[in-house]
Amino acid sequence: MSYKSPAKEPIKIVKGAECLLNFVDRYFKSRILEVGPDTFRVTFPGKDYPVPGLNIVLEFHDDLGFYYIPTLVVEGPQEQPGGITLKKTAEVKRSTHRDSFRVPTDLTVHVRDHIHVRRYDAALVNISGGGALLRSDAPWDFSSTLEITLSLPGESLYTLLGEVMHIAASPHGGQLPERVFGVKFIGMDPEIERAITRYIFARLPELYG
């Protein structure tokens, strides 16, 4: 996918609207019961979960992509049976279907939050000219701007900026608290974009013959 982040809330969320709840690496179909200034009450089939304090992403899908809202559970079904209450923790964002090739890699990149000093190694799961998917145990969130140091085979060492647009639990599971981060490149230097494009088109014959 490619990712876009509107400056203002782009959709009108109303009572009765259908949505998906994304948490613990699973999706649940839901419907809006009530809308407050910063809260949503939605249907949920569970009786004893999710519990207050759990992070849930509220998603509204259409043919071109989806809008998503990071939220926090403030009331579970134990407090009010038949639904849960979510508090919005970040602005509505938009994810659109990918319009460029993205290829898987086995590379590692060095990443740091643009504000903090500590650097992390992250697995570069895949990459396109517009963004990448990273896997790491780093504590980045939707407000993070990342400085990514990238070394592609046959290319120079590049540093570029990316914005975290999507977060999910790592499909690998295990003991490590890893997550995968969908990152949109921002302020892309044309030279770096050309280098990524060369890498992608060199990889396509290897992957797909």
In this prediction, residue 1 has a pLDDT band, given cuts at 50, 70 and 90, of very low
Task: Find the CATH number of the domain harbouring 78.
Answer: 2.30.110.70
- Mean pLDDT throughout 161-183? 77
Looking at the structure, tell me whether residues 74 and 135 fall in a common domain.
no
CA distance 51 to 23: 12
How far does CA 188 lie from the centroid of its chain? 19
**pLDDT for 39-72, tens place per residue?**
999 999 888 889 999 999 998 887 667 788 999 9
Which of the 8 DSSP states describes residue 139? -
- Mean pLDDT throughout 98-121? 84
The pair of structure tokens assigned to 189 is 């230097």
- Domain boundary residue, one of 96, 127, 157: 96
Q: Which residue has the tokens 């009765």?
A: 16
Nearest C-alpha neighbor of 140 from the set 92, 70, 187, 86: 70
Predicted pLDDT at 168: 82
Range of the domain at 203: 103-208
% residues pLDDT > 90 (the chain): 41
40 vs 25 pLDDT, higher one: 40
Looking at the structure, tell me whether residues 92 and 108 fall in a common domain.
no
**pLDDT for 121-150, tens place per residue?**
999 999 988 889 999 999 888 878 999 999
Looking at the structure, tell me whether residues 65 and 90 fall in a common domain.
yes
> Could you give the number of structural domains in the chain?
2
- Domain boundary residue, one of 96, 125, 155: 96
Looking at the structure, tell me whether residues 78 and 120 fall in a common domain.
no
